[in-house]
A = this chain, B = another copy of it.
Amino acid sequence: MPDIEQICRGDVVTAGHLRDVLDRVGDKWSMLVISLLEHGPRRYGQLATDIPGISQRMLTVTLQRLERDGLVTRTSYPEIPPRVEYALSPLGASLQEPISALAQWAYAHKDEFLASRDRYDAKA
């Protein structure tokens, strides 16, 4: 069972597994999409409205990347009008746990965050 030290040591430092996962889900929307899919399958349009501010393009490419890495599944129903559902794969569902840990840390410490920043900026 590896710890951070093991992960960030030797010839795998820069290309460590931490880097890998951040490169995949560290972008602007991936974790948000995963969080929303946690509650069950969603259609493309649903996600578009549930994530204010996201563009069609970014929703599309984000979903494609997540599907490519096996985190979400895409199911297309050949109807008219077309219907496409996205859902978390087991792999994606397992990722939701560490993501939740990160989100809860952010929620718990948001005040310290802002306070420190204000102090820093006040001196500059």
Contacts and interface: CB of A to CB of B under 8 A. Distances in A.
A70 B8 contact: no
Interface in A89-115: 91, 94-107, 109-110, 112-113, 115
A2 interface: yes
17 contacts: A2-B103, A5-B35, A7-B35, A13-B50, A13-B52, A14-B53, A18-B99, A21-B106, A22-B26, A22-B31, A26-B26, A69-B120, A70-B113, A70-B116, A70-B120, A91-B109, A97-B101
Interface residues of A, number: 57
Contacts of A26: 22, 26
A21 to B, nearest CB: 4
A2 B107 contact: yes
Contact of A8 (B18, B35, B53, B102): B35
A3 B116 contact: no
Given A4-B38, A103-B7, A32 B18 contact: yes
A18 B2 contact: no
A44 B118 CA distance: 25
